[in-house]
Amino acid sequence: MKRVIYPIACAAFLLPGLVRAGGPPSSASDSLKKWEIGGYLKDLQSIQFTSVNNNWFLINLIHNREDFHWYPGKRWKVHVGMRNRIYYGESVDFIRQNPSLFNSANSYFKLQKIISDGPSYLVHSTFDRASVTYTKGKWEMSAGRQRINWGQNLVWNPNDIFNAYSYFNFDYEEKPGADALRLQYYPTGTSVAEVAYKLGKNSDSTIIAGKYRFAKGSYDLQVLGGWMNGDYVLGAGWSGVIRTAGFNGEVTAFVPHKNLRIQQTVLSASAGMNYTFSNSLYLHIAYLYNSAGSINADSNQMNVLFRQVVSAKNLSPARHSLFAEVAYQITPLLKGDFSGILDPSDGSFFLGPFFTYSLSDNVAWLTGGQLFFGTDHSLYGSYGKFLFTRLKWSF
């Protein structure tokens, strides 16, 4: 009986959001509010198969998120974010064999639990945000589980040394956080200096680094340096425009502390360009270079699809990766997005067609797929095809 109580309590936690979502329109008194609750409830249906004539594996994911913001004083704010997920279907056994879906490598504190587990279902809850922030003048300090986003590129982020994420994990919009302390100082309106420390049980799981970001002409530039999981890190990034096209990128060098040699240094670099036409047509291209990557990568070497948390040092097992995307607002309510990633060394590739339809202001329907192509021993050749349909209600 106790195994059922916690999910019921999570559902009860949703009620304030329901009340707020159905309440009266916002007024001037909203600025005086001491707390806010928001989130979403999603139902994601998935089908996986290697070919249409082979077995199809079905799985369903009910995903609820709660975000609680509390403002106890003028300078203080508290953020707590909770994810509740219920998996059921034929692929639960496969999901159960991937602990990275539930245990984050960025987590020092254990704030997650498998509430209930059966042959064909699994219920999991976790707090992926739990932080306190204090602001005074040009200073801001935060402590707890939080997202420290240092990335500039829109697909791959070598500068995002605290909590890099996988592009394939499209259903987790908030992206992972880290158990960390963070201090920021804003000397001007267009610059910020910060230092952050991610807790670890030893030096190989600890990150401490500083970053300085500033504006120069039409560009935002940044430099960073520090220590990440046994490596010295040094990096830089930029975001700006070339004429009217967006141009961004970042590069980070990871120098091993042990057996310090230039030959052992890993260089990860990405760059991208994007442009939006007046008719809403959006084009985006990007490139990733990983000096430690293989020119003969095998999908069995590293599970690029199911990793919830990736490392900025190894965003892809491939030496080179090419990305392209086209998006278009087909109607005011319907948007299409088509993306792809190519490993030029073996010719294997990924395609991601998605369509999103807005049913109302806070209800959206998404359908699409993640389709992998290539020979059996190529990087993307062994994953098969995934089809998705998702209904999402935000509050």
Q: How far apart are CA 192 and CA 281, in angstroms?
A: 33
Domain membership of residue 77 (yes or no) is yes
b/e per residue, 153-182, with b = 16+ CB within 10 A? bbbbbbbbbbbbbbbbbbeeeebbbbbbbb
Whether pLDDT at 4 is above 60: no
Query: What are φ and ψ of residue 19, in 5° steps?
Result: -65, -45
Residue 274: its pLDDT value, please? 98
Domain membership of residue 29 (yes or no) is no
CB neighbours of residue 144 within 10 Å: 20
Whether pLDDT at 19 is above 60: no
Q: What angle do CA 86, 353, 394 make, to 5 degrees?
A: 45
Q: How far apart are CA 146 and CA 37, in angstroms?
A: 17
Overall average pLDDT of the 193-201 stretch: 96
| CATH number, residue 147 | 2.40.160.100
When divided into structural domains, the chain yields a total of 1
Mean of per-residue pLDDT scores for the chain: 88
Overall average pLDDT of the 138-144 stretch: 98
Residue 303 pLDDT class (50, 70, 90 cuts): low
Domain membership of residue 378 (yes or no) is yes
Domain that holds residue 363: 2-17+35-394
Q: What is the pTM of this model?
A: 0.86
- Dump pLDDT digits (tens) for 305-333: 555 568 999 999 899 999 999 999 999 99
Q: Which residue has the tokens 């230092």?
A: 195
Residue 29: its pLDDT value, please? 45
Domain membership of residue 22 (yes or no) is no
Q: Which residue has the tokens 């909770």?
A: 82
Residue 309: its pLDDT value, please? 62
Residue 136: its pLDDT value, please? 96
Domain membership of residue 26 (yes or no) is no
Residue 40: both structure tokens together: 């979403």
